[in-house]
Amino acid sequence: MSHVLAAVAWPYANGPRHIGHVSGFGVPSDVFSRYMRMAGHDVLMVSGTDEHGTPIQVQADADGVTPRELADRYNRVIVEDLHGLGLSYDLFTRTTTRNHYAVTQELFTGLLDNGYIVRKTTLGAKSPSTGRTLPDRYIEGTCPICGYDSARGDQCDNCGNQLDPEQLINPRSKINGETPEFVETEHFFLDLPAFAEAIGSWLDQRENWRPNVLKFSRNLLDDLQPRAITRDLEWGVPIPLDGWRDRGDKRIYVWFDAVIGYLSASVEWARRTGDPEAWRKWWSADSEGKDALAYYFMGKDNIVFHSVIWPAILLGYSGEGDKAGEPGRLGRLNLPTEVVSSEYLTMEGKKFSSSRRVVIYVRDFLSRYDADALRYFIAAAGPESNDTDFTWSEFVRRNNDELVAGWGNLVNRSISMAAKNFGTIPPAVDLTDADRDLLEVAQAGFATVGDLIGKHRQKAAIGEAMRVVAEANKYLSEQAPWKLKDEASKPRMGTVLHVALQVVSDANTLLSPFLPHSAQKVHELLGSTGVHQPMPDIVEVDDLDGGPAYPILTGDYTVGARWESVPLVAGTPLQAPKPVFKKLDTAVIEEELARLG
Ligand SMILES: [Zn+2]
């Protein structure tokens, strides 16, 4: 039994999330967490909405609202979407809580005290009309290298060269077209080169990471530069230093505060349970948490933040970079055990794009289809290790051929036959080799499927669970219990149905991390009571330190099924089942394609 932290990437609160966002890390982190809990581990699954930074400021200006109002709007939308998918967060919070501000400032101060944050003067672009800083990517101009006339301030998309905005010929603001002013500005930088050696030797000890993640991370170490962690911006966490704290124009950079969210959300969770130090069981590198495991889930564009930058922050705060130092008051903190990154999902062969309407939002999806149908597609055909295309025809095919005709059919026909002929789960007498073989296949699934989920090979894991389903369907066809209706054969019919129902129960548990909503239904159809798969709740809470109230996702996940076969009890009453999954009319394919831009 271990303490297992499931640290899930923070969705940015500038709009509703589409299914590409939840395919890479949302659903996979929930599958992993549900399985680890069922296997007896003490899981803490945390995340929240990432709400600071320029894009939210710019969009709020365009919508005529404050950044906080914009973040409030999309925080709620995202919380509802993740709830609809049944993602079992212990805490899904947000980065605008006062607790998050305090933890972010504590890490900033700890790094500064140990000498890992340095002050530098740089040139920054300012809008002459608003006085606001213009981020690099909001500046456009002619590339000084190739002459392309729409190069961005950070890079030229035509020749691929990295640029600084002051190098652009005829620079202009993408927001209002005016020519930016370049002025000297002072900022704080994280001294990343001071961690190259420590991170290098840590990466050398990593086992089981996906090879692409390890290789990419090692390559980054060759060219580490100090990285700015403050910005000329009004919207963000204040810099916790005299002379800076009350300045309206300087804030901590959003990327720095967002990664700290994993820690601040754990602290908030502990404070809300009434045991404010409980987070240490998942984080402390010295005492209670020293054997804890920490898994980080994200899309591949965020690997650098989790395999290099966040470890650097943790090492620096713990006093373990080139300059040594003392741990801050939170103590030495654990580095990630594993960085689990996914690839990209595309939509009908195109990149998801809200502006070009190549998109389906989670909310719209869930208004027309069941959450488990999407969860099944993501597990069986998602972007686990390759960029993957979502097509409506493949979604409908997998739903109808695999979920409905495979698993749903097994559940439906075995339960309805037993209900009709016996009214209860019939007893098993005189097992044959065929009976025992099938029961063993299902039993063996617990080790195989569990091992694969633990290694983040969910596609193979659900394939193994569905293999048990296929074997059970084959068994029913071969044993043909519907032909065993006469008085003399009826005990054999009961035995076959008992075996089939036992395998339905086992397969249901094997599939339950992937399909938690339907697992609960199948559990009840088998005449069982109680919770099989616990679900998250949306709870309106007060900010712990006096800020505005907000909705969180949380739940009691200590109840629920264990990762084991539970013997069915003969005589348990059964009702004629309602179908667990819905067959989709192929007409929805054309309807959905017509909705795309
Ligand atoms: Zn160029």
> Do residues 585 and 63 touch, judged by C-beta distance below 8 A?
no
Distance 153 CA to ligand 1 centre (A): 11
Cα–Cα–Cα angle for 25, 26, 27, rounded to 5 degrees: 100
Distance 216 CA to ligand 1 centre (A): 25
Distance 222 CA to ligand 1 centre (A): 25
Distance 162 CA to ligand 1 centre (A): 9
Starting at the edge strand that comes first in sequence, how are the strands of the sheet with 169-173 ordered? 151-152, 139-142, 169-173
Number of neighbours of residue 276 by Cβ within 10 angstroms:
13
Element (H, E) at 169: strand 169-173
Distance 312 CA to ligand 1 centre (A): 33
Distance 158 CA to ligand 1 centre (A): 5
Distance 172 CA to ligand 1 centre (A): 16
Distance 146 CA to ligand 1 centre (A): 4
Q: Which of 143, 200, 153, 146 is nearest to 175 (CA)?
A: 153
Distance 166 CA to ligand 1 centre (A): 14
Distance 156 CA to ligand 1 centre (A): 5
Distance 165 CA to ligand 1 centre (A): 13
Distance 157 CA to ligand 1 centre (A): 7
Distance 114 CA to ligand 1 centre (A): 40
> Do residues 154 and 125 touch, judged by C-beta distance below 8 A?
no
* The dihedral formed by the CA atoms of 115, 335, 51 and 537, expressed in degrees to the nearest 10: -150
Q: Tell me, what amino acid is at 85? A: L
Distance 366 CA to ligand 1 centre (A): 43
Give residues with Cβ within 8 angstroms of 138, minimum separation 6: 54, 58, 153, 173, 174, 175
Distance 155 CA to ligand 1 centre (A): 8
> Do residues 195 and 316 touch, judged by C-beta distance below 8 A?
yes
* The dihedral formed by the CA atoms of 218, 219, 225 and 231, expressed in degrees to the nearest 10: -90
- Cα dihedral sign, 465-504-441-564: positive
Distance 160 CA to ligand 1 centre (A): 6
Distance 180 CA to ligand 1 centre (A): 20
| DSSP symbol at 18 | B
Rounded CA separation 407/501 (Å)? 12
Rounded CA separation 18/16 (Å)? 7
pLDDT tens digits in sequence order for the chain, 597 residues long = 899 999 999 999 999 999 999 998 899 999 999 999 999 999 999 999 999 988 898 899 889 999 999 999 999 999 999 999 999 999 999 999 999 999 999 999 999 999 999 999 988 888 999 888 787 778 999 999 999 999 988 788 888 777 888 899 999 998 889 999 999 989 999 999 999 999 999 999 998 888 888 998 999 998 899 999 998 888 999 999 999 998 888 999 999 999 999 999 999 999 999 999 999 999 999 989 999 999 999 998 899 999 999 999 999 999 999 999 999 999 999 999 999 999 999 999 999 988 888 999 999 999 999 999 999 999 999 999 899 999 999 999 999 999 999 999 999 999 999 999 999 999 999 999 999 999 999 999 999 999 999 999 999 999 999 999 999 999 999 999 999 999 999 999 999 999 999 999 999 999 999 999 999 999 999 999 999 999 999 999 999 999 999 999 999 999 999 999 999 999 999 999 999 999 999 999 999 999 987
Question: Which residues partner with 139 through β-bridges?
Answer: 173
Taking CA atoms, 87 is separated from 49, 91, 359, in Å, by 14, 11, 21
